[in-house]
Chain A
Amino acid sequence: MNIDKPKTRIVEIEPVTRVEGHGKVTIHLDDDNNVAEARLHIVEFRGFERFIRGRLLWEAPVIVQRLCGICPVSHHIAAAKAMDVIVGADVLPPTAEKMRRLMHYGQVMQSNVLHFFHLSSPDLLFGFDAPRGKRNIFNVIKEFPDLAKQGVLMRKYGQEVILHTAGKKIHGTGAIPGGINKNLSLQERDLLLQDIEQMKVWAKGAVDVAKRYTLEHLSQVEQFANFNSSHLSLVREDGALDLYHGGLRATDAAGNIIFDHVNYQDFNDYIMEEVRPWSYMKFPFIKSRGALDGWYRVGPLSRLNNVAFIDTPMANAEHKEFRALTHNKPNHMSLAYHWARMIEVLHCVEKIHELLLDPDLQGADLRVTGERREEGVGVIEAPRGSLFHHYKVDKNDQITYCNLIVSTTHNNNGMNRAVTDVAKKYLSGKKRITEGMLNHVEVAVRAYDPCLSCATHALGQMPLTVELFDADGTLVHSNSQHMGQGIPPD
């Protein structure tokens, strides 16, 4: 096609499946079939930041969650936290903050469980190159019915917590600027308490499954998209894991602090986003380190690297073991995200239990307001990592500015490294690329539990696709369009 261009071929995986939302991977091969580069593209764009302008401030928490049906509560609460700042609610009544926390722990629990059991477990249970038709939750149900049922019921429990705090399992309305619109009745509390012990047992079991997988496959896990990076997350003042609130901490690849306990109202002084022409998803970086070296990762792995301890006993014991694997140095293995994710599920279950026993949840003081401001930032540790919402509002309550940096966007660079790393390892120099090889690339993407729906907020949608181009830039193989022809069926 373009004669001046060095010869490359491109392989496509499209759409990437068993991830939430829509994305595509292209793998660029040189003349000798070596992988030069691989890219994860976000192929949809929505334009949220523009069309939210003019809407009223109280609408934001309700509208914005429609960007993402997997972690709606995260957007719901992040927007509400930003609006708290704007309506001057600097300290929420205990009932309000605890109801929001309860909702959030329910959310992280269900989302992490969904990712592990419904989406990723087929890779771990059947192998990365198991027949395509086998790699899905329905087969897990068939072959590991007990495990699958636990996953289904744990997710259900998380969704029930959301139902009783937000009024609906998906896209509820609990959090409002300055507080919450309902408390938890004793009846609802007792209902949720009924299954909590069972949930603890299963959550511990899930940690064991993920841990065992990691340790039994350690040589592979250490080889698979294991690369140095910085890590970003909120931490509590005392260094504990806190998924709802805290200051921003960034550490470098060796675990040294880059910045710490930063008030997230000032995040723009620390983080900037880069635009690249081949993805609708931007590439954030730490300003002081520049666009090239300033990239970082977020999410369960980063959180467990960044925090000093976890304030619930069972999860804390697991955290210690997790850190011991890398001698308390940062763990950079992409596949270790799974283990970290399950430790967080256990933490959430313990937190939910603690909160359910707290009489503050039956309080009647639900909302405060104070001195009005024009601008506010809300940050929360969503299931997939730090989620930033930034709004400006005029005196008529109309939103005049909005910027979101969603968890998956923070991981944009990390996922692209992971994809390139795995593609180089498993595809380089191969004459024939099999579907199983391509699934390795998807496994790397899946480790990050990317929420491609969220990532589309700028305007699009993204199933994951892998494309293979030849040295002339001709599309040789696409996982989506040409799957039937290019690659023999299983």
Chain B
Amino acid sequence: MSDWRMLQDRLSDQGYVAGDDLAMALYLALTLERPLLLEGAAGVGKTEIAKVLAILKEAPLIRLQCYEGLDAGHAIYEWNYQRQLLAIRAAGERGETGPGLEARIFSEDYLLERPLLQAIRQDRPPVLLIDEIDRADEEFEAYLLEILSDFTISIPELGTIHATAKPHVILTSNGTRDLSDALRRRCLFVHVDYPDRATELAILAKRHPGLEPRLAAQIVGFVQALRREDLDKTPGVAETLDFAAAVAGLGVADLTDDPVALKAALVTLLKTQGDRARVPTEVAQRLAGKAA
């Protein structure tokens, strides 16, 4: 069996069912030591893969959640100004001044590590998850480039810090804006789509092993049918799992049996008022009937 299939199996053992595209890209990213960029709708398991990978590699997971206005001070490093100031005061009272003091307050003791710096200073390769990179500004992408290509960080007062272990980098994006070509070129890319029927069944079997196969097939069929409907917010895999948990929790053995319970369980799938209105009980019943 080839190595990437083995990786796919090991992911599957951890409860993550990866499609061929994703498994291969992840395998290459690990072997070639390149960052992996995952793009896709919300709720298809982009963030999850990093968590599972961290478990597989028995490595720490370092997560950087991006947001509008994220800057180097929050992502890379920051000086601990309060401590520096206290040190200056204390030194002043002792009558100590000069370059010795300056060297001391700009030493590692006063450096606050943020996720990116932390990631390159580990003893063993960690998994670095840069989540929702499309939320960060374009300027921040430029910061990332140096780190992603060389795994070095320059701190003017300290010098350049080289990586002690090259992290496995996973970037995720919801595609709300175009990422720069420079960033895309440094990464391997996979577009993660909603899973097909068989894959989703496999996921459900992994996560809810107690579920009766017939009901599982019904649930997956129902969600897949719902995704083809015209909704504001298409349910992702996480929603399917919630829905399955809800259905199982309500003690439903067959989706078509109990319209009231089905309606109640729909809160896990439909997340806006408009979608709720668009899928009234009759439509839900019809979809469930077809899925059965």
Query: Is B one of A's binding partners?
Result: no
Tell me the A residues contacting B by CB distance below 8 Å. none
Tell me the B residues contacting A by CB distance below 8 Å. none
